[in-house]
Amino acid sequence: MEPRRIQKVGYSTLSVSIPMNWAKKMNVKKGDIVFLNEENDGALRIAPEPAKTEDTSVYVVNVDECDNTTILARVIVGNYVLGRNMVRVESSRRLMREQIESIREVTQRLLGIGIIEESDKHLLLQCSIDSKNFPLETVIRRLYVITSIMFKEAIDSLIDRDMELAKDAITREHEADTIFWLLSRLLASAQQSRAVAENIGITDSLQTVEFYLIAWYLEMIGDRLNMICNNILKMNQYRKNDDNDLIERLSQMALISFTMFDKAIKSVIEKDLKVASDAVDLYDAVQQEEEKLLKEFQESKSELTSRFNQIAWELKIIAEHSSAISEISIDYILRTKNDICWVKKQEK
């Protein structure tokens, strides 16, 4: 923190000088316009024109340092999430076919990025995303819709023994990943740019953390649903007609978990504290049923009961994630204007 003394200019104007190092870094010169924003704590934030803060850097990824294509793909995703617009993937020798295929595959799963230049030793990736087109709540809602469809397909697959629905749910996970990475990029960019934060609807720094956690839990729920559907496919060959009572119990547990999940996200979108509280209250029912199933089959070594227990455990984890989303929603609602809790005005 660098202290600066306030100066008086004329009869009524107060001024403070700008550090030269900051001016050079931001390319601010005499006659340029800067913007002042008052923070929630009363501090003033100074920012140059948005055009001056746009990152035009080219970030180089050295393929030779990536031991395999999995690392290469993760590095590209990491650059995307960090909000970088130009990424040059290069090697000291000719790029191998599996490396090129890995780059193409990962860019197809990232929204708004593509290859704009290519040679035998490099590829240049460019990402063009206008944050104004992606309000945060709209993107969160999209991730919720995808995950909700996966959840319903998993439950129906379990009840109706429809394996095609389980397969459909598994294929949707890639779309959920795409939206999660987009959300991560938007939130990372919002931390670095007030303009991006305003474009996506972020009004304070705590929202960035809260929405990232909500997005992360949604992504984890999608992963758990993927595991559930894989277990449904694997246990299908072992199911018998006398397993109906067990399937019914598991289905009821799944429906309660889904209700928790649905209420949790609705509480975020609708800013409803009571709905969030209702979701948290349902967790005990899921936990108790999972413990009952585990005790009943702890001595069993069959493949069927192993899969049942695995599905029950995944449903409990989904319930835990849904409860966590609800807790975040409650905290967020309490920080905003609401009818349950407010600041009492001090009497003079």
Structure tokens belonging to residue 88: 């040059």
Residue 242 pLDDT: 66
| Distance between CA atoms of residues 133 and 215, nearest Å | 18
Three-class SS state of 294: helix
| Distance between CA atoms of residues 158 and 181, nearest Å | 29
The model's pLDDT over 170-212, given as tens digits with 9 standing for 90+, comes to 999 999 999 999 999 999 999 888 889 989 999 888 899 999 9
User: How many CA atoms are closer than 13 Å to the CA of 208, on its beta-carbon side?
Assistant: 17
Residue 6 pLDDT: 84
Task: Name all domains of the chain by residue range, CATH numbers in brackets.
Answer: 7-53 (2.10.260), 58-127 (3.30.110.20), 134-335 (1.20.58.220)
Q: What is the mean pLDDT of the chain?
A: 89
Residues in a beta bridge with 127: 113
In this structure, of 37-46, 86-95, 150-159, 308-317, the range with the lowest mean pLDDT score is 37-46
Residue 54 pLDDT: 61
DSSP helix, strand, coil percent of the chain (3-state; round to 5): 65, 10, 25
Structure tokens belonging to residue 222: 């999608």
Residue 296, CA distances (Å) to 159, 247, 292 in order: 21, 14, 6
The model's pLDDT over 241-267, given as tens digits with 9 standing for 90+, comes to 767 788 888 999 999 999 999 999 999
269 near 141, Cβ under 8 Å?
A: yes
User: How many CA atoms are closer than 13 Å to the CA of 140, on its beta-carbon side?
Assistant: 25
| Distance between CA atoms of residues 179 and 109, nearest Å | 9
Position 53 confidence tier, pLDDT thresholds 50, 70, 90: low
Residue 275 pLDDT: 96
| Distance between CA atoms of residues 309 and 302, nearest Å | 11
322 near 257, Cβ under 8 Å?
A: yes
In this structure, of 46-50, 162-166, 169-173, 342-346, the range with the lowest mean pLDDT score is 46-50
Terminal Cα distance for the chain, rounded: 36
- 36 pLDDT more than 70: yes
Amino acid at 149: I
**Across 97-242, where does the E strand assignment appear?**
113-118, 122-127
Residue 52 pLDDT: 53
